[in-house]
Amino acid sequence: MKANVITDICPLYKEPSCQSSLDDEVLYGMTVEVLRRQNGFLRVRTHYNYEGYAIPSTLLCDHNYACFWQNIPKWTVWSPYLDIKISPTVQAHTIANCTRGGLLGVKDSDEIIGEGFIKVDLPNGCTGYAHRPNIEYQITSWSKADEKQMRANLVRTAMLYLGVQYRWGGKTPLGIDCSGLTSIVYMLNGSLIFRNSDIRPGFDMKEIPFNAKQPGDLIFFPGHVVLYLGNDEYIHSTSYHTAARVLINSFDPSSPIYREDLAETVTKTGSIF
């Protein structure tokens, strides 16, 4: 059975308990496959092939509507956090919220209504109004022919998360971990990579030599991953006790933002090109 996420964030836990560690966050409007029910939780698999335990109230378990929803054109939310209104005015009641990466359905018309709003379909079967400047048509694919633009887009997208607090298992501007950052950056640009800090078969990423790295590529360490920006600098979400946020560090020993512990523990480098 398929189901839609109907809350801003659907936490995915490692075990069927809220006392378990947070493994991932599935975002508003994403569709999951429900595998089984266990201890009051639902074991689900995401469209990027990641599994965990979800709280049932975060999902609309309507297989037919979820299949319909999965196949209609979508908007992607790009603002850090977005209110969906019941009518096209800023004073209207908020009926839903989305973080960056959340999905809304595209109506037949993209006419601007009221105070800069556009009418959108919602994953619970309702409709609402979103500010048009905060959403863009969903990117579901990418091309190796557009490598230069894709690399620039990956860097630009990663920089949107600069300063966001570290959250184990997080994947939004409210809190994000290292692989949450890299996976959502790639997803927003049409590429699916493994959710955790590794390269796995069946995803777009492949291993390359460290010296071949270019902006947008990923660099891996034991239990950690960063996105390379160029000029020996990289952006990452770190739990390091003096930081605990998304920031930029360097491989250059002469740089004031040099991280020796990371520079000396690189395990592999990955690229989709």
Residues 6+ apart with CB under 8 A from 119: 88, 107, 109, 111, 113, 127, 128, 129
Judgement on whether residues 231 and 219 belong to the same structural domain of the protein: yes
Number of domains in the chain: 3
For the chain, 273 residues long, the average pLDDT of each consecutive 10-residue run is 98 96 98 97 98 98 98 97 97 98 91 92 97 96 96 98 98 98 98 97 97 98 98 96 93 97 97 98
Judgement on whether residues 182 and 116 belong to the same structural domain of the protein: no
Domain boundaries, position 254: 144-271
Judgement on whether residues 89 and 127 belong to the same structural domain of the protein: yes
Judgement on whether residues 87 and 202 belong to the same structural domain of the protein: no
pTM to 2 decimals? Answer: 0.96
Distance, in Å, from the CA atom of 131 to the CA atom of 117, rounded to the nearest integer, reads 4
Domain boundary among 53, 70, 87: 70
Query: Which CATH number does the domain housing residue 227 bear?
Result: 3.90.1720.10
Enzyme catalytic residues? 178, 224, 236
